[in-house]
Structure 1
Amino acid sequence: MTAPSGCVDWVASVLLAAWERQEFEGRYRGADEFRALAIDPDDALASWRAATLPATPWRPELGTWFDEWSADWPAADRLGLTRADRLVAALAVAVELEPRLRPLVAALGDDPTHRLPSVGLAAELAGCVGLQPGDVRAVCASDGRLTWYDVVRVLPVSGRASSLDDRIVASAWLVGAGDTTAKDLPVQWVRPRAGGRLRAASRRSPGVPSAVFGADHRQNAETVAAGHGAELAALAGVPADPVSVGRLARSAVLAGAPVVLRCDQVPERWVLDAAERAAAFGATVALSNNRRARWVPPPGWRDVVVEPLDCGARTVRWGTALTKVGLEASPEVLEAVGVEFILGAGAIDDAATRARVAARRRKVDRAALRRAARRTVWRDLTSVARPGLSGVVWADLVVSPATQRQLSEIAGALGNRARVLDGWGFGGRPGGRGYHLLFAGPPGTGKTLGAAVIAGAADLELWVVDLARVVDKYLGETEKALDRVLEAGQASGAMLLFDEADALFGRRGDVREARDRWANVEVAYLLQRIEEHDGVTVLTTNLSHNLDEAFSRRMSRRVDFAVPDAGLRRRLWRMSVPGSAPVADDGALHTVADRFELAGGAIRTAALNAAYAAAAEGGQITLGHLVRASVQELAKAGRAPTRDELADLAPLVTPVWGTA
């Protein structure tokens, strides 16, 4: 992509011809000689040149020679460089490639300290190719193609007032010392996939920018490349500065590739400004947004929706991606991960790369691909959620038989989602893919533990949504955060747990002021978004009456967790006190289980506090330790028993807040 080799010989001949002209008419003078005059230095210098330069024309063979070698310059053709652009670029390239020309450049500029060509010198050479000096000065401006495409860089000289003294330096890529693909910019070069709708539209109206909406940016870029009949597409974020926009546009134009900008996390005005700048220099531009509702393209833009990959397409993509990185998997494994993870093309490619890094052999199993797929989407979950409990089993959960039966049914449903939704066709019905659960009950009754147990039974990852990172006081920010977590959860196949969900999905109220209206709008949006979610969610609440009534219709199942009875409390106390703990009397556990109505979470806390108290006294865990710890838990809940209610246990209780 460098300049043709003939340009060096041509520039050498032109510089020698310019030297001969200066020898005949008098030495070249710099703009510094005119700085003390009242007129503009550039105007004075231009007037002096007009009066002193010879009237004799340049040798015509120089212009003919220029046309011959510059016609064979593909990079200049693709960038749309004009005759003046090519003259300046050739001058900069020749001096960079042939250092022996630099003394001649310094002599022509009458300044031995500067051996790089100046704007003024380039303007002096304009006549040899039939141009005016002003034509050359114009293309050296900061908004010209040369600087926008980073073909040359115009460097000001310290202490010089005139822009004619600015020095021209060829960029590294132009002289073969750099890369035309701007690797230091965050650009992905994407190859095409089928994009018939965009291809047909591009034939009808070539050059029209596109707004492409789809869940996966790389898949969007593949569609754009196919739609424009290109072998590549340049997928990048919105560059932060005009120079980077120009370099990105240059790289794309040189490669014959459209520019696809990711715009879902960037203010709209930045997106449009970058798109307009890139399009102004011949780049075909498309904007990629992974949610259609987030951004509305301006009038005149083509609107294209890229449908997500279906199960079959995901399976094929997994096979292709693994082959590219030198791995393979059985058809059954490919189909299993294609069904489980609703990933786009780019995410599948990333997961295959992760699997390659961790693989010890060429053929990988389902577990390896599942780990790779989960880690690919975990980066989106970690910003708003944390991993839930893992490794818990049914034996760790102590609930009533009715609740246990409901949870077992839910685990069975989750384990057979693929068969029912995809094999039996239920997933094609509106709202048929999502599975949303409501767990209601007092604190400590096992709601979170129940979610962890059924997640483990169904072989799903459990992620607990951090409401502090989701709920935001600014309008629209809560919705955006919820979008991110739901999208990541759906892609990863994870179960999302919204603990204390009434804080997020509260009941809508009467509108008395503006904030009430926006709060109701927010709840309505969250209701709609949960209904659209195709993954698995669990909402827990201690106060189910605080949830909006519309949630009951959107929940697949509701499970109520009650405070355990005496029999369940005995099991909970036995599970909360390890067998190795020094308990003075096994009957003490039954006594506190029968006398104090505590939930499972409170029982675990009471058992631990009793153990700490016994250890501090250097003895065994006695009934007194257990009773005092239980009374403290009741007091925390505002239900501290009176001395009469404690009856025969009252002497064991030291003064505790709330006892009489």
Structure 2
Amino acid sequence: QHLRSLLMGESSLVRLGYVSIADDSPTHGNGVLNKALSIDRGLLDFLLGQADWDQQQQPAVAPSWEAVVLEKSFKAGLVSAIMRLDRDDFGRTDAIIQLVGEAGSGKKLIAGAICRQLQRTVMIVDAEALAAADTSPSDSVTPAFRKALLHNSVICLDNFHTLLQDEARNKALLAAVVMAINNRRDLTILTGEMMWRAEGHINDGVPMLTLSVQAPDYQQRRLLWESHLKGHRNSLTDDDIRVLSGRFRLRGGQIRKAVDTARNTSLFRQESDGAITLDDLSAASRLHSNQRLSALAQKIEPSYQLDDIVLPADHKAQLEEIRSYFANMSLVYGDWGFQSKTNLGKGLNALFVGASGTGKTMAADVIAGQLGLDLYKIDLSTIVSKYIGETEKNLDRIFREAHDSNAILFFDEADALFGKRSEVKDSHDRYANIETSYLLQKMEEYQGIVVLATNFRKNMDDAFVRRMHFVIEFPVPEELDRLQIWHRVFPQDAPCRESVDIGFMAKQFKLPGGNIKNVAVTSAFLAAQDGEAIDMRHLILATRREYQKMGKLLIESEFGPYFELVRPGPAEPPSSGQPPLYSQTQTGSREK
């Protein structure tokens, strides 16, 4: 009678597929004991001591709660809930715990700690691998649940959000998983980036706990850095840990990977004792930040230092203040507690104002280099769309990808969107103002640095300017500043003749730094074409080309004794329909 009950349809052996009864087998009677039976291969291997885990179904090392960094009240509530589950306060053995959060937020670590508290092992099954398997949904799902039961393991379905995507195979897999969960009648843990609404899928009355696993805050990041650096030789101070925790908003998994990468870097560095440095960890943190922003913006590799940029002393001091402000945000918002006093606006917003070529992009480059952060340049004029709602979609994509990029966002041509808000006269005016407000909202939500650049401050809305932490003017350089730029623009290895008169170039041509750089580079190519060292003839001809690009007149009083080099000859008339590039000089010379 007992053997017969073990082979009935509702028994675990039959319901879970460990034993199959062949209905068409030859029998000597109608009873179940007279039919042919087949045993699951996994069960047979287990009974023979040959059970093994396949690559997608590995038992995870279960950590203690002490190793899990979570907000204190959140952790206490979770531990209490698991205690009630362990005491069978719910009156049943089956339950579902759903952990929802971004990749690397510690969901699998929490699942392991839950199982350790219950004194059980955990078996991680990657739902993404199940979806990619070349087997039927049932054949993909059933073996994993059978193995978990044999080893009394809690099954944890990782990347569960994969099964929620609207594809035929995913729907079939989800149905197979739901059936397996309902048949197993045990604790199941789901981890993913999207919440699953299980109503109508799972058995009635099954307790289900859904928890949102948040990205770690500053204090939690400090604990994570300290925890993952234990056991690794390093030269970091408490201040270094503070800098890393504030500068890079990484999740636990990213911090662990950053430490591993930095360790490998330090071991292969020449003339090193193998100790991990702050520079190692900063570079590794950038590497393990979200890099998808590269598809939407131009990544600029920082190459300048503060001493490279020529600005009035007060303007340069403001750049240093931006660096200091961001570097100390973790101290002010974290250690000093100002984080509790504000919900938004914990990033840094700066407005750079100045004509083209005055150093706005270079200044953003300097700040990124000083802070060890990536820099992405976005041309706002390409983001703004004439179609209602498209601008917001474009901005949302950028800030969504920038969320965990730990990068400086540099928006050029900001007045394309942030011009003075008009009086609302029609729907287009109303939507233009909505677009402006939307970007301001996104800037306040972003916890990094956002720099906006514009050529004309007068075009900017006053209410918008008041929302900036810093507003820095980039003036066209005066003669002494231009002289500094000219002295710095030529590389040490560039061949220049003694006849090159830098003083003349700085005094005569009132060019911004960007245009001076263009002239220097063009002169170098002209000299290379002639097979000579750079001389004044090359510089003057390069200046002529730069003036043509800028649409400026070539005035004899500016070019002085070198004007004959640029005076148009009979074979070089001005283009038809174009304004003349040569005009009457102040000395009365006739020009064409």
Amino acid at match of 2:228: A
* Alignment correspondent of 1:602: 515
Q: Does 1:354 align with 2:261?
A: yes
1:216-255 equivalence runs, <5 A? 216-223=103-110, 226=113, 229=118, 231-232=121-122, 234=124, 236=126, 238=128, 239-240=130-131, 243=135, 247=140, 250-251=143-144, 254=148, 255=153
C-alpha distance in structure 1 between counterparts of 2:81 and 2:413, whole Å? 49
Cα separation, partners in 2 of 1:444 and 1:280, compared to 1, 3 Å: same
Return the TM-score normalized by structure 2. Answer: 0.70
1:86 maps onto 2:18 in alignment: yes
What's the CA shift for 1:479? 4.5
Residue of structure 2 equivalent to 1:440: 353
Q: How many corresponding residue pairs?
A: 520
Query: Match of 2:475?
Result: 562
1:653 aligns with 2:566: yes
Instruction: Kindly indicate whether residue 468 of structure 2 is the aligned counterpart of residue 581 of structure 1.
Output: no
Candidates 533, 537, 542, aligned match of 2:446: 533
**Partner residue in 2 for 1:488:** 404
Say which is worse superposed, 499-508 or 280-289, in terms of deviation. Answer: 499-508
Deviation at 1:603, TM superposition (A): 0.8
Structure 1 pair 226/646, CA: closer, same or farther in 2 (3 Å)?
Answer: same
Matched, 1:641 2:554: yes
Matches within 5 A, 1:54-65: none
- Quick one: which amino acid aligns to residue 397 of structure 1? I
Q: Which amino acid aligns with 2:159?
A: L
Question: Relative to 1, partners in 2 of residues 1:488 and 1:508: Cα closer, same or farther, differing over 3 Å?
Answer: farther
Alignment partner of 2:232 out of 315, 323, 327:
327
How far does residue 87 in structure 1 lie from its aligned partner after superposition? 3.1
Q: Pick closer, same or farther for the CA change 1:279–1:174 going to 2, 3 Å.
A: farther
Larger RCO: Structure 1 or Structure 2 (Cα < 8 Å, ≥ 6 residues apart)?
A: 2
Q: Mind listing any 5+ residue stretches in structure 1 that lack a counterpart?
A: 1-62, 92-118, 141-145, 153-168
Q: 1:175 to 1:340 in 2, by over 3 A?
A: farther
Q: Find the counterpart in structure 2 of residue 280 from structure 1.
A: 179
User: Is the 1:223–1:306 contact (alpha carbons within 8 Å) kept by the matching residues of 2?
Assistant: no
Q: Where do 1:372-521 residues align within 5 Å?
A: 372-377=284-289, 379-380=291-292, 382-384=294-296, 387-430=299-342, 431=344, 433-457=346-370, 459-465=371-377, 471=383, 478-479=394-395, 481-490=397-406, 494-502=407-415
Partner Cα separation in structure 2 for residue 232 and residue 377 of structure 1: 29
Q: Does 1:318 align with 2:211?
A: no
Whether the aligned pair in 2 keeps the contact of 1:446 and 1:601 (CA below 8 Å) is yes
CA separation in 2, counterparts of 1:499 and 1:174?
A: 68
Q: Deviations over 1:211-258 (max 9, x none)?
A: 644445442343455567565373745453685865357536713133
Q: For 1:260-292, what per-residue CA distance to the aligned partner results, in whole angstroms no more than 9, with x for missing partners?
A: 4353997467877755542321173535338xx
Q: 2:156 aligns with which of 231, 242, 258?
A: 258
The CA deviation string for residues 316-347 of structure 1, in whole angstroms up to 9 with x for no partner, is 33343345xx5255673555534443222221
Give the aligned partner of residue 370 of structure 1: 282
Deviating more after overlay: 207-216 vs 520-529: 207-216
Distance in 2 separating the partners of 1:316 and 1:365: 18
Superposition pairs for residues 119-198 of structure 1, below 5 Å? 129-130=32-33, 179-180=52-53, 182-184=54-56, 193=68, 195-198=75-78
- Sequence identity, in percent? 24
- Tell whether 2:525 aligns with 1:612: yes
Residue 488 of structure 1: SS of its match in structure 2? coil
Contact 2:102-2:192 within 8 A present in 1 as well: no
Given that residues 346 and 445 in structure 2 are in contact (C-alpha distance below 8 angstroms), is that contact kept between their aligned partners in structure 1? no
Deviations 1:407-445 (A, max 9, x none): 232233334333333333334331353112221222211
Bigger Cα displacement from structure 2, 439-448 vs 643-652: 643-652
1:625 aligned to 2:538? Answer: yes
Deviations along 1:566-600, whole A, 9 cap, x unmatched?
Answer: 2222222222234653335243x333322322111
- Taking a change above 3 Å as real, the CA distance of residues 236 and 447 of structure 1, as seen in their structure-2 partners, is farther
For the structure 1 residues 210 and 131, does the alpha-carbon distance in structure 2 shift closer, same or farther, using more than 3 Å as the test?
Answer: farther
Q: What amino acid is aligned across from residue 582 of structure 1 in structure 2?
A: C
Structure 1 CA distance for aligned equivalents of residues 465 and 58 of structure 2: 46
Q: Residues 445 and 416 of structure 1: is their aligned pair in 2 closer, same or farther, counting only changes over 3 Å?
A: same
Partner of 1:489, secondary structure, is coil
SS at match of 2:495: coil
What are the equivalent positions in structure 2 for 1:12-91 lying under 5 Å apart?
80-82=12-14, 85-88=17-20
What are the Cα deviations for residues 292-337 of structure 1, in whole angstroms up to 9, with x where unaligned?
A: xxx79577875533333234433333343345xx525567355553
After TM superposition, give the deviation of residue 601 of structure 1 in Å: 1.0
CA contact (8 A) 1:585 1:623 kept: yes
Q: Which runs of 5+ in 2 are unaligned?
A: 183-187, 201-207, 268-272, 575-579, 583-592
1:170 to 1:208, Cα distance in 2 relative to 1, 3 A? closer
Q: Secondary structure of 2:410's match?
A: strand
In 2 relative to 1, CA 123–425 (structure 1 residues): closer, same or farther, beyond 3 Å?
farther
Give the Cα separation in 2 of the matches to 1:184 and 1:346: 19
Decide whether aligned partners of structure 1 residues 199 and 299 sit closer, same or farther in structure 2, where only a CA change above 3 A counts: farther
- 1:444, 1:599 within 8 Å by CA — same for their partners in 2? yes
Q: Distance in 1 between matches of 2:426 and 2:62?
A: 50
Q: Would you say the 8 A contact 2:156–2:191 is kept in 1?
A: no
Other-structure match for 1:60 = none
How far has the Cα of 1:463 moved from its partner?
1.8
- Paired residue secondary structure (2:215): coil
**Distance in 2 of aligned mates of 1:514 and 1:197:** 50
User: Highest CA radius of gyration, 1 or 2?
Assistant: 1
| Shift in CA distance, 643/129, structure 1 to aligned 2, threshold 3 Å | same
| Cα contact 2:250–2:404 (8 A) shared by 1 | no
1:592 pairs with 2:505: yes
CA distance in structure 1 between the partners assigned to 2:199 and 2:13 by the alignment: 30
Which amino acid is the alignment partner of residue 350 of structure 1?
A: K
Report the CA distance shift for 1:544/1:302 in structure 2 as closer, same or farther (over 3 A).
farther
Tell me the SS of whatever aligns to 1:598.
coil
Which SS does the other structure have where 1:263 is aligned? helix
State the secondary structure of the residue aligned to 1:498.
strand
* 8 Å CA contact 1:398, 1:571 repeated in 2: yes
The alpha-carbon deviation at position 467 of structure 1 amounts to: 5.5
